[in-house]
Amino acid sequence: MTFNSSIRYQNQRLFVDDVPVLDIQHAVNTPVYIYSQRRILQNYRAIEQAFSAMQPHIHFSMKANNSLAILRGLRQVGAGIDAVSGGEIYKAIAAGFDPSHIVFAGVGKTAADIRYALDVGIGWFNVENVQEAHLIQQLAAGMGRTHVRIALRLNPDITANTHPHIATGHGAAKFGLTAEAIRHLLDHQHEFPALTMCGLHVHIGSNLKDTTATVEAIKRARELIAPYPNVTTLNIGGGMPVAYSSDEVVPCAADFAQAIALHVDGYHLLLEPGRAIVADAGILITKVLYTKFQGGQRLVIIDASMTELIRPMLYQAHHDIVPVHHDSNVQHFPTQVHGPVCETTDVMGRDVDLPELEPDDLLAVLTVGAYGSVMSSHYNARPRPAEVLVHEDGTTWNIIRRRESWSDLVQGEM
């Protein structure tokens, strides 16, 4: 059985490329995130290829996964970065990115963030607030900066087909500027002599299940900037989806490229994909701690929880959970897969079709490369898990983040 070009069973054992998951588990223990570099680069190149006629700049949205090793790999194939905080800019620079290849979005940029971004020479500010535009102007002027590139982020007032918690383009969302506010800013560009307002940014949400809302948002964006010929760049954000279960079908990069091609003609194009690059390249390996039959249900308690992967709890997200040792000949049962954290909602999967399990059996939670480890926490004083990258050769691998220890838990406290 094959989940994607890199995650598959071979002789009933789960592999990441040519590495048996068991080898990594023996060396690193659980819980452990494992990523396939080959799959990450393949996803990146698929987007590059799908949009090639439009010659976009692809800025990896690093809030999906900010591991330095993964960032370095994407830098080497030519990606830029979409950052949403000063800390992300700092990490991107630590991974070797040229600041001019970083775009900086976010509804709440602090003065310190903005000063830092100006100081390093960030490529673009994606501005989400009129006050923010004034603050960037004021700080840039104070630092003697000119030609600071600005893309105004439009809230297109469109409800995307995705989970409400990850939709960002409806009128009531905190993101972006209204069309009216953007027109006002573009009509008063002389009040911002340090800024060059030459871009329009629109990002309507994540994991978009179809291309309709994206096309509509781009149409509204174009209509808005048509009277302003100095606005020559369209940044259409991220949002390309991934399939979170084996029977789900979602539009691919080529579908998005085809849908938007006509509408971005004549503009310089920027993309900010996050999930579509890293999600299906990552798996989380976890060990069964206990099993019990209770309340008429088959329960397993695993050693991974909402502190390693909060998506099921935060977004009611579904992740396929599969055994590391797969035997299709044995009977499978609906199983409730619970984490050990003291919260009733710490459930990794409900009614998961799994074989009879015993303590120490291994399970893999699939499609966790995006919005997984970046959201990990110390809740219940749980050290963060180890992370491993299987290299592009498919056979060598290394630990890219060591497993935290208990002493890490008290670091930084007085």
Ligand X SMILES: *Cc1c(COP(=O)(O)O)cnc(C)c1O
CA distance 21 to 14: 6
Burial (CB count <10 Å: 0-12, 13-18, 19+), residue 393: exposed
What's the closest the beta carbon of residue 277 comes to ligand X, in angstroms?
8
> Which one, 203 or 319, has the nearer CB to ligand X?
203
Residue 255 CB, nearest approach to ligand X (Å)? 15
Is residue 198 annotated as part of the catalytic site, yes or no? no
Q: Which residue's CB is nearer to ligand X, number 153 or number 287?
A: 153
Spatial CB neighbours of 100, under 8 Å, sequence gap ≥ 6: 121, 122, 123
| Coil, helix or strand at residue 240 | coil
Instruction: Provide, rounded to whole angstroms, the least separation between the CB of residue 241 and ligand X.
Output: 8
Sheet containing 7-10: which strands, arranged edge to edge?
A: 7-10, 13-16, 19-20
DSSP helix/strand/coil, 323: strand
Classify 26 as helix, strand or coil: helix
Q: How far apart are CA 63 and CA 69, in angstroms?
A: 14
- Report the C-alpha gap between 301 and 180 in whole angstroms: 53
Could you give the CA distance from residue 269 to residue 95 in angstroms, rounded to a whole number? 24
Q: Report the alpha-carbon distance of residue 46 to residue 251 in Å, rounded.
A: 13
Question: Between 84 and 324, whose beta carbon lies closer to ligand X?
Answer: 84
Cβ at position 291, least distance to ligand X in Å:
35
Q: Which residues bind ligand X (CB under 6 A)?
A: 61, 63-64, 82, 84, 105, 203, 206-207, 237-240, 272-276, 370
Q: Residue 67 or residue 206: which is nearer to ligand X going by CB?
A: 206
Least Cβ distance, residue 305 to ligand X (angstroms): 23
Q: Are 205 and 158 in contact (CB under 8 A)?
A: no
**Which residue sits closest to ligand X, CB atoms considered?**
238
> CB-wise, 241 or 349, nearer to ligand X?
241
Instruction: Rank residues 175 and 397 by Cβ distance to ligand X and give the closer one.
Output: 175
| Structure letter (DSSP) for residue 63 | T
β pairing state of 282-294 and 362-366: antiparallel
**Which of the residues 262, 330, 342, 410 is marked catalytic?**
342
Q: Are 116 and 108 in contact (CB under 8 A)?
A: no
Smallest gap from residue 278 Cβ to ligand X (A)? 8
User: Cα–Cα distance between 263 and 266 in angstroms, integer?
Assistant: 9
Least distance from ligand X to the Cβ atom of residue 210, Å: 14
- Token pair belonging to 176: 């972006």
Q: Which is nearer to ligand X, 199 or 238 (CB)?
A: 238
Residues whose CB falls within 8 Å of the CB of residue 414, separated by 6 or more in sequence, listed in order: none
| Contact present, 115 and 137 (Cβ < 8 Å) | no
Cβ-contact 221, 178 below 8 angstroms? no
Q: What are the catalytic residues?
A: 342
